[in-house]
Amino acid sequence: MTEQTDGPLRAPAQTTSRRRGVRQLLAASVGNAVEWYDWYAYSFLSAYFARQIFPAAAGQPLIPLLNTFAVFAVGFFMRPLGGLLLGSVADRIGRRGALTCTILLMGGGSLLMAVLPTYAQAGLLAPVLLVLARLIQGLSIGGEFAASTTFLVESAPPGRRGFFAGFQYVSTTIGQLLASGLTALLAVLLTADDMNGWGWRIPFAVGAVIALVGFWIRRAAEETHPAQAGLAAGRRPPLLEALRRYPRQSLLIGAVTVAGTVAYYTWTTYFPTYAQVNDGFPAADALLAGTIALTFFAVIQPLGGMLSDRYGRRPLLLVFAGGFAIGVVPLLGLIGSSWVTLLLVQCAGMVLLTGYTSIAAALNAELFPGHVRAAGIGFPYSLTVALFGGTAPYLATWLSAAGHPTWFPYYVAVLALFGFVVYWRLPETAHRPLDPGAGGRPL
């Protein structure tokens, strides 16, 4: 009798589990895509609105672009605060509440940029409001990574954390694709004067509207925080408990992130601008190549996550860091020959980069116990991204303006070599159970 009833009972349970997993992935991914669309729209549109907000200096045409990338970096320095504050919200009241909060902040920042006055209209108020909008978005995106990372990994069934974590960068890349694709489409449909004059506002307005859609979807998500979901009797941790009780894990997240964030922002965000500034590619051609490469990047993320579930996180990280340490200088040296070469170089870098991006969420979440997981990830991760990832476009542009464009690839290679050493000594976490408790155990 037992054998006759086990099958029918097990099948509905498996179906329910699969449906729950799909719902959780959609709730995390759709909202995350909206968040990152709003965040990345700035970088793709900066070349168009730079002169509207910052006046050009005589004989220095790169000054407005440098200023917009400086604001790009300023937004990054709000991310540690967002990771700490909103990560703490996720640990204290639940992941879902933090995720709905982050998307509202991001939509508000995007709306402010859509209606931003120009320097000619408002003088210094224009760049001040631009900085304010970017600070709001920086606060949001810092909390977004912390909350969505924990939400995705905690939603995963046993043995599938890497696969679920891969969707963190699938949705991130979809948001980036939407921003890049819409910018490229507008660049084709509008004249240069229209794009520089008012066309750049359209993607920001779209971002504000779709943020409301993401907010609605996230409200229906199922809570994954152990205490808030009723799975454990938890307590509300103090704001700095993760840093105080788990300093080694906090430092480890920073060390793991350095190479990954510089490579990521170089290859997925700054690459079109690098091709324009250093190799003379037209903006539309560079954006088109970037859009195709990002599509390829999104497709291969779950594959990287599945490989890490089977073989571990360390092998993929070592391939990523070793490949960039050896290959970044020759790869960036090749992009000037043709558009096809530009595309192939960017896709080759995307394959290597997947060794980091597809498993970053899983690895980070596996280092902390559940009661401080979001804040524990959010602050050290976002601080490292601010110091290294957020400054990468500005540093590369500054070196080009100073007459040293070839120095930046060596900077990336050195940080990748540092990452290789860190990953070599990293403990393997792929097959450990995810710690949901309030005590936790140091690595």
- Summarised one tens digit per residue, pLDDT across range 335-362 is 876 888 889 999 999 999 999 999 998 9
Q: What is the pLDDT of residue 251?
A: 92
The more confident residue out of 163 and 35 is 163
Q: What is the pLDDT of residue 443?
A: 47
Q: What is the pLDDT of residue 62?
A: 57
The percent of residues in the chain predicted with pLDDT above 70, rounded, is 86
Q: Can you tell me the distance from the alpha carbon of 139 to that of 103, in angstroms, rounded to the nearest whole number?
A: 11
Question: Looking up tokens 């799909």, which residue turns up?
Answer: 22
The more confident residue out of 288 and 251 is 251
**Whether 155 contacts 164, CB under 8 Å:** yes
CATH 1.10.3720.10 fits 27-223+247-424, yes or no: no
The more confident residue out of 228 and 154 is 154
Q: What is the pLDDT of residue 252?
A: 92
Question: Looking up tokens 């917009």, which residue turns up?
Answer: 68
CA R_g for the chain: 22
Q: What is the pLDDT of residue 315?
A: 95
* Spatial CA neighbour of 293 closest among 342, 361, 359, 358: 342
Q: Can you tell me the distance from the alpha carbon of 309 to that of 150, in angstroms, rounded to the nearest whole number?
A: 17
CB atoms within 10 A of CB 217: 18
* Spatial CA neighbour of 348 closest among 332, 362, 359: 332
Lowest mean pLDDT among 34-48, 50-64, 295-309, 363-377: 50-64
Q: In whole angstroms, how far apart are CA 371 and each of 334, 414, 441?
A: 48, 36, 12
Residue 231 reports pLDDT greater than 50: no
pLDDT band for position 184 (50/70/90)?
confident
* Spatial CA neighbour of 284 closest among 203, 192, 396: 192
Lowest mean pLDDT among 10-24, 168-182, 196-210, 318-332: 10-24
**Whether 175 contacts 37, CB under 8 Å:** yes
pLDDT band for position 219 (50/70/90)?
confident
* Those residues with Cβ within 8 angstroms of residue 433's Cβ, 6 or more apart along the chain or in another chain: 158
* pTM score, whole prediction: 0.80
The more confident residue out of 411 and 39 is 411
- Summarised one tens digit per residue, pLDDT across range 59-103 is 455 556 667 767 766 777 788 888 888 888 888 888 888 888 898
Query: Taking the CA of residue 24 as centre, how many other CA atoms within 13 Å lie in the half-sphere pointing to its CB?
Result: 23
The overall average pLDDT reported for the chain is 82
- Summarised one tens digit per residue, pLDDT across range 4-53 is 444 454 455 555 566 666 777 887 787 788 888 988 888 778 878 877 88
